[in-house]
Amino acid sequence: MPTPHTVTVALTGASGLPYGLALIRALVAARVRVWVLASQAAQVVAREETDFALPAAPDALTRFLTEMSGAEESQLRAFGREAWHAPVASGSNPADAMVVCPCSMGTLAAIAQGMSDNLIERAADVAIKEQKKLVLVPRETPLSAIHLENMLKLARLGVVILPPAPGFYTRPQSVDDMVDFVVARILDQIGVPNTLVPRWGETR
């Protein structure tokens, strides 16, 4: 699988925002162009799970994430929730892949039903109809039958459901190690080479 040139990363209001931020940093390091979408609930989660607040304005969020990730000029861009002229809103200019990380059960349900009430849902709808790689990283436990049925519906369409469940055969020594394990699995799914964690069978 060729390395994608552009990846959309959507941050929603589920626990696990550090996964999404680490994913953005890894994509930037791999010299991938990154388009970022963030829900209002993601801003609430950021205040609970990190030491900073995600800016609400797209330009401010672009500057914040560019500085955080070390992105080059124009390598990263954030879009507003109703920026219907954004590239991700149309099948004529979709990203090569999209990752919703973390993915709330509300967002997952909306995607499963083909909703397009905001740019995150619309971008996911475009990814499915254009048969682009779509990875959802849900953070919810326990899972109800509703959650599981929505996941199964999407999996049957080719969407990758990737719960952030770190493996322990890598002998993680920190939370960052566990985050990197999940990010590495995401990068594998979208074809971005990485050496974040040792592979099974490799010498540690």
Consult the annotation and say whether 122 binds a ligand: no
Instruction: Kindly state the tokens that stand for 89.
Output: 């809103």
Percent of the chain at pLDDT exceeding 90:
93
Consult the annotation and say whether 69 binds a ligand: no
Q: Please report the pLDDT score of residue 204 as a whole number.
A: 61
Consult the annotation and say whether 107 binds a ligand: yes
Consult the annotation and say whether 139 binds a ligand: yes
Consult the annotation and say whether 144 binds a ligand: no
Distance CA 136, CA 73 (A): 28
Confidence of residue 202 (pLDDT cuts 50, 70, 90): confident
**pLDDT, mean over the chain:** 95
pTM of the model: 0.96
Consult the annotation and say whether 80 binds a ligand: no
Instruction: Kindly state the tokens that stand for 77.
Output: 């861009």
φ/ψ of residue 148, rounded to 5: -65, -40
Q: What is the DSSP letter of 144?
A: P
* Residue 139 pLDDT exceeds 70: yes
* Residue 73 pLDDT exceeds 70: yes
Consult the annotation and say whether 104 binds a ligand: yes
Collapsing DSSP to helix, strand or coil, 99 comes out as strand
Which domains does the chain possess? 6-190 (3.40.50.1950)
Consult the annotation and say whether 174 binds a ligand: no
b/e 182-200 (16+ beta carbons within 10 angstroms → b): bbbbbbbbbebebebbeee
Q: How many CB atoms within 10 Å of residue 16? A: 23
Are 81 and 116 in contact by the 8 Å Cβ rule? The answer is no
Q: Please report the pLDDT score of residue 201 as a whole number.
A: 85
Consult the annotation and say whether 105 binds a ligand: yes
Consult the annotation and say whether 13 binds a ligand: yes
- Taking only the tens place, the pLDDT of each residue in 13-51 is 999 999 999 999 999 999 999 999 999 999 999 999 999
* Residue 2 pLDDT exceeds 80: no
Distance CA 33, CA 75 (A): 5
Consult the annotation and say whether 116 binds a ligand: no
Strand 33-38 to 76-79 pairing: parallel
